Structure 1
Amino acid sequence: MKKSYRLLSSLLITSAITLISVSTMQAAEESAPTIGQNQNGEVLFDNTHGQTAGAADWVIDGGFSDYANSIAQQGYQVKELRGESNITPEALSGKKMLVIPEANIPFKQTEQQAMVDYVKQGGNIVFIADHYNADRNLNRIDSSEAMNGYRRGAFADITKDMSKDEKSSKAMQGVKSSDWLSDNFGIRFRYNALGDMNTTNLVKGKDGLGITDNVSSLSIHAGSTLAITNPELAKGIAYAPDNLDQSKKWSHAVDQGVYAGGGKDEGPYAAVSKVGKGKAAFIGDSSLVEDSSPKYKREDTGQSKKTYDGFKEENNGQFLQNLTKWLNKSDDSQSIKDMGVTLDSKTPLKDFEVPANSTETQAEPWSQPRPNYKWYDRSTFAAGSYGSEKQGNTGGSGDGNTGGDTNTPTDQGGSSGTIQNVAFELPEHLKSGEAFKVNVNIKSNQSTSTLKDLKLGIYTENGTQIGQFSSDGKNFSPAGYSDSQTVKTDGSGNATLTLSAKIIKDQHGQANIRIKQGKKALNTQTITID
Structure 2
Amino acid sequence: MGVSNRFRLAGVAAGLLVLSSLAGAGPKALFDNTHAETAGNADWQIDTDQPLPVPDQSTVTPATPRDYWLGAISSWAIDLVKRGYSVATLTPAFGITYGNAGNAYDLSKYDVFIVPEPNVRFTAAESTAIFGFVRDGGGLIAVSDHSGSDRNGDGFDSPQIWDLLDTQHRFGVHFGISGDANNNIVQDSFNSETALSDSIIHGPNGVADGVSYHNGTTMTLDPVANPTVTGDIWMTGLTHGTTGLMAAHAVYGNGRIVFAGDSSPIDDGSAAPGNTSIFDGWGEASGRDSLLFLNATMWATRRTVPVAVPPTLAPGLMLAPPTPDPSGGEVGLRFALPVAARARVEILDVAGRRVRTLVSGWQPAGEQRLTWDGRGAGGRRLGAGVYLVRLVSGSQQRVRRIVRL
Q: Contact conserved, 1:57 with 1:296, CA < 8 A, in 2?
A: no
- Is 1:232 aligned to 2:231, yes or no? no
Q: Equivalent residue for 2:41? A: 55
- Is 1:291 aligned to 2:286, yes or no? no
Select the residue among 129, 154, 168 that pairs with 1:139. 154
Cα distance in structure 1, aligned partners of 2:11 and 2:297 = 18
Deviation at 1:219, TM superposition (A): 0.7
SS of residue in 2 equivalent to 1:69: helix
1:425-440 alignment runs, 5 A limit: none
Q: Contact conserved, 1:182 with 1:188, CA < 8 A, in 2?
A: no
Q: Equivalent residue for 2:80? A: 71
Q: Does the C-alpha gap of structure 1 residues 181 and 208 become closer, same or farther in structure 2, counting only changes over 3 Å?
A: farther
Q: Equivalent residue for 1:219? A: 212
Cα distance in structure 1, aligned partners of 2:11 and 2:77 = 10
Select the residue among 270, 274, 278 that pairs with 1:307. 278
Select the residue among 86, 90, 95 that pairs with 1:86. 95
Select the residue among 192, 206, 213 that pairs with 1:202. 192
Select the residue among 159, 165, 170 that pairs with 1:184. 170
Deviation at 1:320, TM superposition (A): 1.5
Unaligned runs of 5+ in 1: 1-7, 20-34, 150-178, 244-261, 298-303, 332-402, 404-530
Which residue identity is paired with 1:116? F
Cα distance in structure 1, aligned partners of 2:11 and 2:110 = 20
Q: Equivalent residue for 1:276? A: 253
Q: Contact conserved, 1:106 with 1:146, CA < 8 A, in 2?
A: yes
Deviation at 1:52, TM superposition (A): 0.2
- Is 1:317 aligned to 2:290, yes or no? yes
Length-normalised TM-score, structure 1: 0.45
- Structure with the largest fraction of strand: 2
Which piece of structure 1 moves more, 262-271 or 68-77? 262-271
Deviation at 1:293, TM superposition (A): 1.2
Q: Contact conserved, 2:135 with 2:253, CA < 8 A, in 1?
A: yes
Cα distance in structure 1, aligned partners of 2:217 and 2:6 = 29
Deviation at 1:146, TM superposition (A): 1.2
Select the residue among 300, 312, 319 that pairs with 1:327. 300
Which residue identity is paired with 1:321? L
Deviation at 1:206, TM superposition (A): 4.1
Compute the RMSD of aligned alpha carbons: 3.0
Which residue identity is paired with 1:103? P
Deviation at 1:227, TM superposition (A): 1.2
Q: Equivalent residue for 2:113? A: 98
SS of residue in 1 equivalent to 2:109: coil
SS of residue in 2 equivalent to 1:312: coil
SS of residue in 2 equivalent to 1:184: coil
SS of residue in 1 equivalent to 2:169: helix
Q: What is the CA deviation profile of residues 50-84 of structure 1, one whole-angstrom value per residue up to 9, with x for unaligned ones?
A: 00001000001200111111221221111000116
Q: What is the CA deviation profile of residues 302-322 of structure 1, one whole-angstrom value per residue up to 9, with x for unaligned ones?
A: xx3321100111211111121
Q: Does the C-alpha gap of structure 1 residues 71 and 186 become closer, same or farther in structure 2, counting only changes over 3 Å?
A: same
1:245-256 alignment runs, 5 A limit: none
Which has the higher Rg, Structure 1 or Structure 2? 1
Cα distance in structure 2, aligned partners of 1:49 and 1:13 = 28
SS of residue in 2 equivalent to 1:78: strand
SS of residue in 2 equivalent to 1:185: coil
SS of residue in 1 equivalent to 2:39: coil
Deviation at 1:115, TM superposition (A): 0.5
Cα distance in structure 1, aligned partners of 2:269 and 2:158 = 21
Aligned residues: 257
Cα distance in structure 2, aligned partners of 1:109 and 1:134 = 23
Q: Does the C-alpha gap of structure 1 residues 75 and 12 become closer, same or farther in structure 2, counting only changes over 3 Å?
A: same
Q: Equivalent residue for 1:171? A: none
Q: Does the C-alpha gap of structure 1 residues 287 and 12 become closer, same or farther in structure 2, counting only changes over 3 Å?
A: farther
Unaligned runs of 5+ in 2: 13-19, 48-70, 101-105, 305-350, 352-405
Q: Does the C-alpha gap of structure 1 residues 199 and 139 become closer, same or farther in structure 2, counting only changes over 3 Å?
A: same
Deviation at 1:193, TM superposition (A): 3.1
Cα distance in structure 1, aligned partners of 2:8 and 2:263 = 19
Cα distance in structure 1, aligned partners of 2:11 and 2:230 = 34
